[in-house]
Structure 1
């Protein structure tokens, strides 16, 4: 998956609401498991805690083994099979979201499963879901959403290099290709005077329609997104010793006085204060790491 497509995913996840309908741990064995094709009207996370089996979906068979996290979108037919003498312990949750754009996820060619690097941590996330669903306090919905976003982050963090599955019928849609081109153009021209007209011209759209098109996918107006990217890049550059505040302002295409004002509005700190504070944190972290090395 390209970085720009991942950016689109992030914006969807940031804005969506998540409702977890159910979550539990299930032990399957050949004697009790009835093999059948299931279709749910909600999305499913399945985590293989122990054992092994096979999941069949989208014309493919995927091995189920300990440490694998599966995501199955609503309406996706799937079947779980077990071999004689085997069992499977699954932790799972069923959820719905306000941004259930299955076409978007399909065209991004997200894999059905990933192998997680920290199985106990994922198992603990499911444990949190069980607790909060049972507790049902006023703050439970917030805690459940936080846990689900962490689960999604684990899935994305563990995507294999390239991130995409080979499916020639799942090429990115024209809309996603246009957004990808726009985001790439923005990153390559942050030092220039970027206008709505110049962005719309890249994908041959009328500026008024382009604004609606862009915000509908990313949740920000084009200029809001440009300024956000400028601040993100500026924060990285301010950590480089060779880049002073004036140089950073120039790199993101802004006059220094306007850059300083926008940066403070974005972070609550002036660029100079942010630079000094970050340097102090980095120095403290280095000292701590060196102390740890001496103790070992």
Structure 2
């Protein structure tokens, strides 16, 4: 990553790492960089600075430089890992006094995933994403999460970015995403004529109700493919699609079948995404 960089935080490396049941990383510490470690799914235990923490979905851990830490996983565990260097003394001081463990959920988790995906994109096509965008975004999410600030706007803009999730019809479709939702069902549920419902919803969101439903189903399905090990058939069911429809729809939108889409990302699982060319990551994963 060359050119303009963030003046307070330098992102060095990131990776999605899937740990097998029974694997562990022995106690170690980093002398000149810091680490943020997020558990997407799985179970186990983390020990940091002599304190023991239970690993669960959404667990997140900040390991400042010089802090001894280790991992032990009792189930297959999917993680995202960021190694970075804090450059600003004031920021170092603030983060040195925060709780080392927290839960990363909701918009914070969506943002963290986005910084990983943008880093992956930047590695594949160096000119595709400006490095400052990734570093500044990661720093903002990290500070928001660890200092318990209000959630920040998520990631890059999409067709869903400006839609109010508290809108009743929107909220209803998100909660019932796995069910068979039709325009007739929505009309009866909210007491509107179908044509009027389309007009009202389109005026507020820029999409018809069914267009919006397809978008959130696609977004959720891609999240499952990207960051879980769920079978593809199960993913289709979770978003209210049949497997053939899911395959056809994703192929049309992304140019890949669900298995191809997942494989394109799984090829990078366990692979270092180097964001600073002179940074060398070293780790040793052991198994019981």
TM-score where L is the length of structure 1: 0.43
Whose radius of gyration is greater, 1 or 2? 1
Q: Higher helix share goes to which structure?
A: 1
Larger RCO: 1 or 2 (CA < 8 Å, sep 6+): 2
